[in-house]
Structure formats: structure tokens, C-alpha cells
Amino acid sequence: MLTVVGALVVICILFLLYEWWPYWKQGAMLKSMPGLTPSVIPWMNWIYMLTSLRKFKGGGDMSSAFFNFRHELFARYRKEGIFKTWSSYDGGPTICVFRADLVEDVIKSPSFSTKSIEYELIRDWLGKGILTSHGAQWKAQRRLLTPTFHFSILDEYENSMNSHFLKIVQNMRDHPEIQKNVELSEWATDCTMAVLLETVMGLEVDDPECADSREYVQAVNSAALLFSLRFLKPWHKWDYCFYNSSEGKSYLEAVDRLHAFSQKVIAKKIRDLTADPSLIGVRPGKKQSFIDMLVSLHLQGEQISVQEMKEQVATFMFAGHDTTGWAIAWTLYQIGVYPDVQAKVHEELDMVFGRDMTRHTTADDLKRLEYFDRVLKECQRIYGSVPFISRQCTVDVQLISGKYEIPRGATITIAIHYIHRDPEVFPEPETFDPDRFLPENVRCRHPYSYIPFSAGPRNCLGQRFALQELKISLVNILRNFKIKSNRPLSEINIAGELILRAKDGLYVDFIPLDYIMLFSISVVVLLVTVSLCLVGWQSYWRARKMLMNMPGPTPSILPWLNPIYLLVSLLKFKKDGDSSVAFLKLRSDLAERHRSEGISKLWTSPDGGPLILVFRADLLEELLRSPSFAKKSVGYSQLHHWLGNGLLSSHGAEWKSQRRMLTPSFHFSILREYDGPMNSHSLRLVEEMKAHPKLRKNIELGEWATNFTMAILLETVMSLEHDDPAFADRREYIDALGETTCAFVQRSTVPWYKWDWLYFNTPDGKRYLSAVDRLHSFSEKVIEKKIKDFTANPSLMENRPGKKQSFIDLLVSLHLKGEQISVKEMKEQVATFMFAGHDTTGWATAWSLYQLGIFRDVQARVHEELDMVFQGDTTRHVTTEDLQKLEYFDRVLKECQRLNGSVPFVSRQCTVDGASLGKYKIPKGATMTIAIRYLHRDPRVFPDPEKFDPDRFLPENVRGRHPYAYIPFSAGARNCIGQRFALQELKILLVNILRTFQIVSSKPLSEIQIAGELILRAKSGLHVDFVPR
């Protein structure tokens, strides 16, 4: 008997040693990591845990205590950004990570791509849906489901979201009794559940299934709470212990109710699609919604079983309503706590919507609500609805950004709630400050320091859907009500379960907005405006005094009188032209008047600030080399709706990062590959013109050339095939671009167009937005086509040895790999290069050909040189070696660019008060206009500057010239990134045209009405005849 007992004891000891050995190994590996010291015996950690939780329990329950316990550890170890506890339900380590660089390591590493073992505990509920699966199964699911949240599907949901929330708003306005002491979480999750059922789940609002949604929401709350409480009892590790306890039985009961509801939804959709088989499958040009796609695939016998379908529906039913519901609740509550913030939100809403409280909120409206967007981000930073996400370490691994080795099997908790409270990133993190999300404050921030929807490959699949619903709901509510929260946030008892919840609820009053309140807001706005004017005028008077000794018109004492001078001056120069023509003539007049000084001030800015024209080489060198003038001028902010923060309009660290990323896509090895398409396109154009005489008579060069350069851009930089549908739409893009640039210049001449809310509500502003929408639509087509190609053939994403990627290939590759660039950033870069890559080169081509048509003797010498090099062959491709031989042609091209370069002005902003420029001091905020057009007409550098003389560019004439006297592509660090591409395209096109045709221009240059917009354009066009040689 003793032998048997002894043997059992030995077996037990060996079993415990076998079980505990990995735990001891983990403890040894984590010895140097901050945090709690583990007990020798794993189960003893629980005693410490339960003792600690009693200390933090206070008036809350155990889930609140657990949240407060982790909060105390975060405060203790916030400098390290990481700590360990031994609270995992199997006794192993839980490592909490909340410093951005460490979080980036975790999210990007394949060693942490598996969901933590705790997610096994919700397999009864969510099965192996996209939230809990991993590896190849997760990748297949992600690939399958991603198209169901395509932006074209989300556009269709906009109407349902608006209808639901406006119906709720109207019901609340009609029944004052439901406006008082409303518990936000129950109210908001009911709303989001109804929206989810009608959009993602494809049900009608009057379907019987929708009537049970309240019961479903209650079951979710029960299941989530019981899931969190399971961790606090070690013996609940084993399913048979948990499911035989009262808590386990309650959990299973809640899960059964959840499954029953999900099955009703699926059954309803199966009935609908079986009754009408035409609904099954994808229709051309139309994406399927989430539930339609799942059921279609199931009924077609492809890819997905009934069980898998149930798991995905259960996952999205939970994740699709609970997170967004609580996000709405926390956001409204915080807005109700900060009345000053709420007043500014109401002010912005009034500017966009006026007094209209019932019209649908559109995507364009949301783009204009910039302050509201910052408020929403700050609400998500402080109380995001998902406080923690967990991963499991699958191999022993060293964190790149830290000195710690993570053992296999450790649970890694990415503590989003604490990442967003890092005082090094967000000073005074508990202070509510929406201006943390101003572009200049975000620009240099670590990309993983703000991740409300997680990040990396396993980020939230439905985040665009959630944000769209969140914004539409809040806008419709806040247009109609003021929110009054019933107590401060410090008194809220928070529980960090799967979702960040308030244990006792979030109670508010909804106070209807009436016109008396709007009048009060208007009075406040008026007082604030007057105060800001006084502050602004003080800066103006200081700048005025600083610039009194600079040449140029003397500014008025009151800044708003300067635009009157501008308008009177423009009338003097306007005659038959429009404002953009008059504005160019006004600046030309100032340049001539102050030619010797090379600098002139002009007070035209809508905010009363100075615009300083600089057009002398030595001053320009000083300006372009100085970091005080490296930032793009404030005028470029008016292009934000169009170009965003692309390479043209960004600055500082963001610009440097973009420039470094994009420069390889214009490497000479890439440009060599473009020779073929450039030659093929231009020779095809020549053949068409030879075959059709009507294509040679009275041709408007601006339209003709930009159409060509757009085609080249699409086939080279944008990597599209010639037969792609985008080619057919390029004329519409070019027309929209002309409208946009004209509107930009017009806006700069109208002082009250300074404010977006006013400008975008005028006919001019609406035309501008309409044109920008067409530009964005075209850019999105280009991106979507490339993403589709790369998704179908992932090998295209790889960099091949010795081969550089084209511009669009580089962007899409980085995006699909989850590196460096978001969809929004990609759209901004494509929009920038679609504009800059064709319009400037197109007009450079047009102006060069027109000037050759004016100066026939010059054209004759060009033809003579071409004949010498090509020996009469008009069809072979132009090579780099050919271009190197065309010395006279090169000088002609430079002279054409000198006289009428396609970019007449570029602008910078002075960022330092009192910055030196020559003998002048420049005030902070001044707009510095680098007047390339007038620089190239300096008679001290180019005698008789209006005369066309290519020999100005003979080597002996160039040798002693100031390096900044001729800068057609700007100069310095921010010179044109694509200048080699532009010159290559320009030369190949001109050579192929001039080998075959003589150019005859319709009238002298002096009769051409020139508009100095973003690009130098001829208002009535440049008309020529192409005469076969």
C-alpha cells in the first residue's frame, strides 16, 4: 500500500514539475522586465491577484477592480511602457504593452499574430470567426470578407444610417419625457443594432427578426460580463468546472440566445435568396453586402459551410454593434461634460448645415467638419470602446525596440487605453484637447501612438463602417440637441471587459436646440470674432511696421482695407480678361516697378497678411536655402480638399518621409523604361495627324498637349494599359482640373472666401467641390485598378533584384503590405502626381510649340538639326543618345521655358518672426512668392529679356550666371521630384512632332491673354496649324 502511495506521490510531483517547468522558464526569461514578481508556485499568483483586486474593488464589481488594478500598474511603469503580471487564467505571464514603439514591434511581428489563449473561452459563442481564428484560416476569411466593406457598399449604407438616426431624433423631439436622464449605452446599442440589421445583415426594419434585437443586446452584455469574470477563478479554466457553475450556466444560456438570433437572421436571408435566385452571386460593377455574400457562397456550394456562416454572423453581430454603440455613448457623454467644446461643435455644424436639422448628412459634409473630427478623435483617445486586445507569443522572441525577451506562450495585452495616455505623446493626457489632432501636431507622431481600431494586418475590418455610422449618428443628434451629462467622468465606475463599459451607466439629458440658443451662440461667436480680430490686427500692425522699408504698396492702417486696394487694382488690369489674368498683370506691374530691388510687398491675403514677391537670384538663393522658408504657404491649405497632405502641400518631417519614400520611383532606371511608351504614344499621334488633315488645322495646344501627357502619365507612372477604361475618361479629368485651378486663384482674390464654411456654401465653392469630387473619383479608379491587379497577383508586390518599382506600384505595394501608407495617404499622393505629372508638362509642351510657331527662323534651325541627327527618318524611336546630340534644340527648349515656363510662381511661408532676407526682416506668417516668371526676365541676367534668343544658353553664356537665375523646376530641397521625367517626356514629344511637321502659330504672343493660376495658361487657348514638312 505504501509503495502505491509513494508511487502516486512521485507521479504527482513529476506531473507538477512537468506542468510547472515552462512556468519557471518563463519567469527566468522575464526576470528583468518591470512588473510583478511571480511566486515559485504558479497558483500562488492567484492569491496575490485576488488580494489586490479587493483593494481596488471599491464600490464596483470584480471587472471594475481588475481594470483599476491594471491602471495602477500602468501609472507605476509608464516610463518603461511595459510590465508583466501573472494573472493569465492558466497561471502564465500576461505582458501589458503600451509604448508606441513596443506596440509596433508586437503588431508587426508574425510571432504575435495569433490571438491569445483567452479567446478560446469564447469559442462557444464566436466559434472560429474572423475575431478568433488565426494563420491561413484567418487570412482566407479576411480576403473573403474585405470586399463587403468596400467604399461603394458603404456609400449605399449612408441613407439607412441617416434615416434611422433622424427617426430617433424626431421621436425624441416629439416626446420630451424621453429626453431626460437617458442611459446612453442601452439607447446607443439599440440604435447601432438596428442599423447593423438593416445594412450589414440586409434585413428590413419591419422584419420580425428586428423586434428581438433588444433581447440580443442584453444577451451580449451578459455573455461579455461572464467572459471577463471567468478569469478571476482559476478552477474555471476547465470547461467542465465552469459550465457546471451558476455563472457557466448563465453564460451558456446567453450564448444560446445569441445563436438563436443569428440563426434567425441567416434563415431569413436564405429564404429570400432561395425565392429569388437572381440575387445570388455578384452582379457586374456591384459589390455584395456581408450577409448576401456569405449566403450566396453557401447556396452556390463554395467556400463556406453553415457552421462557418453562423460563426461569422455571430462575430459581426457582436463586433458590429457593441463597439460602435459604446463609442457613441462615450463620445456623447464626453461632449456633455465639456460645454465649451460642445459649443464649438454646434458652431461648426451651424456653419455647414445652417438651420437645417433634418437633411441627410453626406460624406462631403463630414469632410468639412474638421473640428468635429478632432473632437471625435480625442473622445476615442480618452475613452475608446476597445481598451485592450490580446495576442499570444508563439515562439521565444526579442522585442526589437526593447531589451526584453518574450517567452513562448505568454499573453501579450496591447493596452490601447494606456497607449493613448502616454504623456510623452499626449502631454497632460487626461485633459480633453481636440487640438492634439491638428495636422501640425499629428505630423511627427509615432503611427502606433493612436490606434483606436488596432493596427497592422489584424486591424478592425469594419472600421470605415463604424466611423461612418459613428459620425452620422453624432452629427444628426448634435444638430438637434445639446447634451448635458449628469456627473463628471472621474465619478464613472469603468469596467474593462471586451468593451469599455460604465458599470452604472452613462446618464445624460438631451436639451433641444432652438433658435434662441442659436442666437446666443451667434452672439458668443461675434464676441469671439471681435476678440480674434483685435489679436490678429496687433500682429498685422507689427508686420506692417517691419516691412515699411520694403518696396511695394503702402498697407492701410486697417487690414481689411487692403483687399479694397487689391480689387480696385484688379479692375484697372482686368479689361477683357478675368480675375486670374488681371492678378498676373498686377504682379507683372509690381515686378517691373521694383525690378532693381528684386523684391516687392503686396497686401492681398484675405487675412490681411503680406504677400512678398521675390525675383532676384541672390535673394531667391537665400530664401530657398533657409529653413525659415521651407514650409509651403498658407494658400496651399486651400488645396487640402483636393491634394490633402501629399508631397506638394506637406512639410517638415512628413514631407521628408514622403520625399524619401517616393524618390526611387523616379530613378533613371525607371525612366529608361518609359522611353518606349513615350515614343509609341507620340508617334501614334503623329500618324493620326498625318492621316487626318482636320486634326492639323486650328489646334488648341493646351487641350491637345494635356490630353497626350495624361495618357503618358497613366501608362508610365500610373502603370495602366492603353486599353484601360481610365484612358477614355481622362478628358473629363483634365476639364475638372482646369476648373479647380481657376477656382483656386479666384478664391485668393476674394477676401471673404478665406473661410471654408462660407466659400463652400457659395456657387463658386460648390463648383470647386464638384470639380474636386470628379478628380478624386478618377484617382480612386486608378488606385482601385492597381489594388485589384496586385491582389490577384501578389508576386507583383515584391521588389525584384536590380529593378525599381514605378510610382503607383510602390504606393500600392507598401499599402498592401501594411507599411507606411494608408488608403487616404495613397489617394493624396496619386491626386498630387495626377495633377503635377500631366498639367505642367502639357502646358510646357503647348507653350514651347507655340513659341516655335512664332519664331520661324528658330524653328528652321531646329528642323535642320533634327535632319542631321535622324537623317530624314521620322518614325524611329528617339533615344537618350539622340537627345544628347540635339544641342541647339536643347537651348531652344530652355529659352521657351525661360519666357513662358508652365509654373510661374511657387510659394512658401515664413515660419520665424524677423527672418532675414537680404537687408529685410520678414514677419512670421508672411507668404513668400518665388516669382519664377519675373526672375527669368531680369535684364541684368538676360539682356533684352522679351527677346527670344536660344544662345543665352550657350556654355560660355551660362558659365558665369548665378545658379538661381534660371529655375524652371524650382530649386533647393523642394525642387520638382519629377523634373527628369517631365523633361524626358517634353523632349521626346517635341522631337517626334517636329520631325514631321512645321508649326504655324495663329497670332503673336503679345495678343495672348495669360492667366497666372497654379499653371501658366492661355485664357483663350493657343491655336496653331501643323503643316507637314
* pLDDT for res 218: 76
Give whichever of 374-388, 545-559, 748-762, 1006-1020 has the largest mean pLDDT: 374-388
**Range list for CATH 1.10.630.10 in the chain:** 611-1028
Provide the CB-side half-sphere exposure for 345 (13 A, CA): 28
Which residue has 517634353 as its cell numbers? 986
Please tell me which residue, 808 or 102, carries the higher pLDDT value: 102
Q: How confident is the model at residue 953 (pLDDT cuts 50, 70, 90)?
A: very high
* pLDDT for res 509: 92
* Three-state helix/strand/coil letters over 94-106: EEEECCHHHHHHH
**Does 451 have pLDDT greater than 60?**
yes
Please tell me which residue, 883 or 770, carries the higher pLDDT value: 883
Which residue has 487605453 as its cell numbers? 417
Long-range contacts of 250-257 (CB under 8 A, 24+ apart): 250/222, 250/226, 251/124, 251/222, 251/223, 251/226, 251/227, 252/124, 254/219, 254/220, 254/222, 254/223, 254/226, 255/124, 255/125, 255/219, 255/223, 257/215, 257/216, 257/219
Chain length of the chain = 1029
* pLDDT for res 728: 62
30 class by beta-carbon count within 10 Å (0-12 exposed, 13-18 middle, 19+ buried): buried
- Taking residues 419-448, report their average pLDDT: 90
Q: Cα 898 to chain center, whole Å?
A: 37
* Three-state helix/strand/coil letters over 15-51: HHHHHHHHHHHHHHHCCCCCECCCCCCCCHHHHHHHH
Instruction: Please give the Cα distance from 438 to 460 (Å, whole number).
Output: 24
Instruction: Please give the Cα distance from 456 to 463 (Å, whole number).
Output: 13
* Contact between 740 and 775 (Cβ < 8 Å): yes
CB atoms under 10 Å from CB of 898, counted, come to 24
Please tell me which residue, 224 or 84, carries the higher pLDDT value: 84
* pLDDT for res 157: 82
- Taking residues 316-325, report their average pLDDT: 79
* pLDDT for res 515: 46
Per the DSSP assignment, residues forming a β-bridge with 96 are 83, 413
Which residue has 488645322 as its cell numbers? 697
Q: How confident is the model at residue 1 (pLDDT cuts 50, 70, 90)?
A: low
In terms of phi and psi (left: phi > 0; alpha: psi -120 to 50; beta: otherwise), the region of 510 is beta
Instruction: Please give the Cα distance from 1009 to 987 (Å, whole number).
Output: 26
H-type alpha helices, 300-453: 306-319, 322-337, 339-353, 363-368, 370-382, 416-419, 439-442
Q: Which residues contact 857 (CB under 8 A, 6 or more apart)?
A: none
Instruction: Please give the Cα distance from 884 to 895 (Å, whole number).
Output: 17
Q: Which amino acid is at 56?
A: F
Q: Which amino acid is at 943?
A: P
Q: What are the Cα distances from residue 21, in Å, to 40, 86, 394, 926?
A: 11, 15, 17, 69
Phi, psi of 180 (to 5 degrees): -105, 140
In terms of phi and psi (left: phi > 0; alpha: psi -120 to 50; beta: otherwise), the region of 698 is left
CATH fold, domain 611-1028, is: Cytochrome p450 (1.10.630)
Q: What are the Cα distances from residue 675, in Å, to 413, 681, 807?
A: 53, 10, 16
Instruction: Please give the Cα distance from 853 to 999 (Å, whole number).
Output: 5
* pLDDT for res 945: 93
Q: Which residues contact 337 (CB under 8 A, 6 or more apart)?
A: 432, 485, 488, 489
* Contact between 445 and 104 (Cβ < 8 Å): no
H-type alpha helices, 645-700: 652-662, 668-691
Instruction: Please give the Cα distance from 1018 to 235 (Å, whole number).
Output: 82
* pLDDT for res 72: 84
Q: Which amino acid is at 377?
A: K
Angle, helices 701-715/839-854, rounded to nearest 10 degrees: 140
Annotation: binding site for heme: 976
- Taking residues 634-648, report their average pLDDT: 70
Q: How confident is the model at residue 278 (pLDDT cuts 50, 70, 90)?
A: low
**Does 610 have pLDDT greater than 90?**
no
* Contact between 551 and 594 (Cβ < 8 Å): yes
* pLDDT for res 516: 43
- Rounded to the nearest 10°, the torsion over CA 932, 933, 936, 940 is -100
Q: How confident is the model at residue 735 (pLDDT cuts 50, 70, 90)?
A: confident
How far the first Cα of the chain sits from its last, in Å, is: 117
Q: What is the mean pLDDT of the chain?
A: 80
Least confident stretch, 41-45, 263-267, 322-326? 41-45
Please tell me which residue, 326 or 655, carries the higher pLDDT value: 326
Strand-pair category, 114-115 with 481-485: unpaired
Instruction: Please give the Cα distance from 94 to 88 (Å, whole number).
Output: 6
Q: Which of 189, 455, 222, 230 minimizes the C-alpha distance to 317?
A: 189
Instruction: Please give the Cα distance from 555 to 564 (Å, whole number).
Output: 11
H-type alpha helices, 397-478: 416-419, 439-442, 463-478
Q: pLDDT (tens digit, 9 = 90+) per residue, 470-510?
A: 999 999 999 999 999 998 888 888 876 678 888 888 999 99
Q: Which of 335, 463, 453, 466 minimizes the C-alpha distance to 387?
A: 453
Which residue has 479629368 as its cell numbers? 733
User: Given strand 507-512, what is the order of strands in its sheet?
Assistant: 182-183, 507-512, 481-485
Give whichever of 237-246, 258-267, 332-341, 620-629 has the largest mean pLDDT: 332-341
SS3 state of residue 228: helix
* Three-state helix/strand/coil letters over 143-171: HHHHHHHCHHHHHHHHHHHHHHHHHHHHH
CB atoms under 10 Å from CB of 597, counted, come to 16
* Contact between 282 and 289 (Cβ < 8 Å): no
Annotation: binding site: 976
* pLDDT for res 426: 93
* pLDDT for res 823: 74
Give whichever of 771-785, 829-843, 982-996 has the largest mean pLDDT: 982-996
Least confident stretch, 157-166, 369-378, 544-553, 749-758? 749-758
Which residue has 463597439 as its cell numbers? 323
Q: Which amino acid is at 105?
A: D
pTM of the model: 0.55
956 class by beta-carbon count within 10 Å (0-12 exposed, 13-18 middle, 19+ buried): exposed
- Taking residues 524-528, report their average pLDDT: 62
Q: How confident is the model at residue 956 (pLDDT cuts 50, 70, 90)?
A: very high
Q: Which amino acid is at 86?
A: W
Q: pLDDT (tens digit, 9 = 90+) per residue, 280-296?
A: 665 544 567 777 777 78
- Taking residues 925-930, report their average pLDDT: 87
Give whichever of 353-357, 383-387, 692-696 has the largest mean pLDDT: 383-387
* pLDDT for res 279: 64
* Contact between 345 and 375 (Cβ < 8 Å): yes
Strand-pair category, 114-115 with 388-392: antiparallel
Q: What are the Cα distances from residue 59, in Å, to 224, 866, 961?
A: 20, 90, 81
- Taking residues 34-55, report their average pLDDT: 68
Instruction: Please give the Cα distance from 256 to 262 (Å, whole number).
Output: 10
* Contact between 940 and 617 (Cβ < 8 Å): no
- Taking residues 661-687, report their average pLDDT: 81
- Taking residues 396-423, report their average pLDDT: 85
